[in-house]
Amino acid sequence: MWETWLLKPGELTLKGGNRKFFEGTLKSNIQRLMAKIDDKIKIRFTAGRYYIQAPQEKTMLVENALSHLIGISGWAKTASCEKTQKAVLDECIKEAKVLSLAGIKTFKVAARRTDKSFPLTSYELCCLAGNEINTATGLKVDINNPDDIINIEIRENAYIYSSGKKGLGGLPVGCAGKGMLLLSGGIDSPVAGFLMACRGMSIDAVHFHSYPYTSQEAKEKVIRLAQITGSYCMGINLYILNFTKVQMLIKKNAPENWITVLLRMAMMEAAQKTALKTKNKCLITGESLSQVASQTIENLNCTQNRITLPVLRPLIGFNKENIIKEAKAISTYEVSIEPFIDCCTLFTPPHPVLHGKVAEANAIYESLELEPLIDEALATYELVK
């Protein structure tokens, strides 16, 4: 047996002249996700709705993919029937009986009619279906706080569905260029990547480790974070760079209170070089203003001053509580809090500079002559797709 899902696109309905491009991107993302599940799955886009038809036994996989799909505002498993009053009402009653068996007590009907030749208006259809369902099943109408909503959409066919799920919203991944995420093992950077993906950006990621000062487990944790984040981003290419030599040189030759800012400057430089090689248009970080000493406005300015690509910081105005809420929602939180040392926590100075001056930062940075070591790290990267 085959099942059908109806998907409602999100924001892209507002996109004017670019709408076709956005719709096409979303369709190809759906196709890519479904092809991984079963190459027999059919996808159709008609009059503002996407439809997926898949074998019933693939339900869990399809619904899991839809819960990770950016660009849709909602989705539901749907029944379809002829556009006659009788067929629609019969289908509504069938749907209501299933809900009743599941223990639902109250409902409301929401109708939408894009085919205006259907003889009833949406309002008339709601009233009629509400009454018929009530008579046939005993379920009560509750307009304000129903246990479930029975939806009727009169389009090229009639579609009837309940238990609609909220989608992630946003714009389809791939319609807003590609950005290089600086991915640490912490809570913030996966959320930053997810938020930019919700603005339509494809994501690559770069991670710096300092093996053997940081462990193999810390690296594997970042790979898992990239996999979870990538499940929303149509996949992520993760570039892993060994920064041990860069970090040791900074520790050996730089004033102790500057260590963290200088390491961040080196990371930005290496991330930019990786981004330029891989056609990424910007860098993305999980920085949030005043979260830690390296994220004062002066230190953020030092960190990015040698970089020409735009540096996007989607979390800049978030507090930690809200970042954690997002991280839990995308299931990266539990992995992020696993206790492995990141290279940033290695050699953290007890009294870091708080309001670094760009000229001083640059003078120290240049005196360290980090360039050859950064290039060496770039030449020996590991790529995890």
- CA pair distance 212, 346, nearest whole angstrom: 11
- CA pair distance 362, 187, nearest whole angstrom: 29
Beta carbon nearer to Mg ion, 71 or 193: 193
CB-CB contact of 285 with 311 (8 Å): yes
Cα atoms in the 13 Å half-sphere on the side-chain side of 290: 3
Site residues for ligand ATP, window 337-366 (CB under 6 A)? 342-344
Beta carbon nearer to ligand ATP, 207 or 221: 207
- DSSP for 206-239, written as a single string: EEEE-TTTS-HHHHHHHHHHHHHHHTTTT--EEE
Question: What does R_g of the chain's alpha carbons equal in angstroms?
Answer: 26
CB-CB contact of 99 with 149 (8 Å): no
- CA pair distance 294, 348, nearest whole angstrom: 11
Q: Which does 65 bind (CB under 5 to 8 A by kind): Mg ion, ligand ATP, none?
A: none
Beta carbon nearer to ligand ATP, 21 or 213: 213
Quick one: which of 23, 188, 204, 326 contacts ligand ATP (CB under 6 A)? 188
CB-CB contact of 275 with 177 (8 Å): no
Quick one: which of 188, 204, 269, 326 contacts Mg ion (CB under 5 A)? 188
Beta carbon nearer to Mg ion, 202 or 260: 260
Which are the contacts of 333, defined by CB distance < 8 A and separation ≥ 6? 187, 324, 327
- x/- contact string, 206-245, with ligand ATP (CB under 6 A)? -xx-------------------------------------
CB-CB contact of 377 with 245 (8 Å): yes
- CA pair distance 206, 228, nearest whole angstrom: 15
Q: Which stretch binds ligand ATP (CB under 6 A): 44-52, 65-73, 96-104, 280-288?
A: 280-288
Q: Which stretch binds Mg ion (CB under 5 A): 170-178, 180-188, 200-208, 233-241?
A: 180-188
Considering the rule CB under 6 A, would residue 287 count as an interface residue with ligand ATP? Answer: yes
Beta carbon nearer to ligand ATP, 160 or 265: 265
Site residues for ligand ATP, window 304-343 (CB under 6 A)? 342-343
Considering the rule CB under 6 A, would residue 280 count as an interface residue with ligand ATP? Answer: no
Q: How far is the CB of 303 from ligand ATP (least distance, A)?
A: 9
> Which pair of structure tokens corresponds to residue 174?
């791939």
Give me the residues that bind ligand ATP (CB under 6 A), please. 182-184, 186-189, 207-208, 267, 285-287, 292, 342-344
- Kindly list the residues in this chain that would bind Mg ion in the complex (CB under 5 A): 188
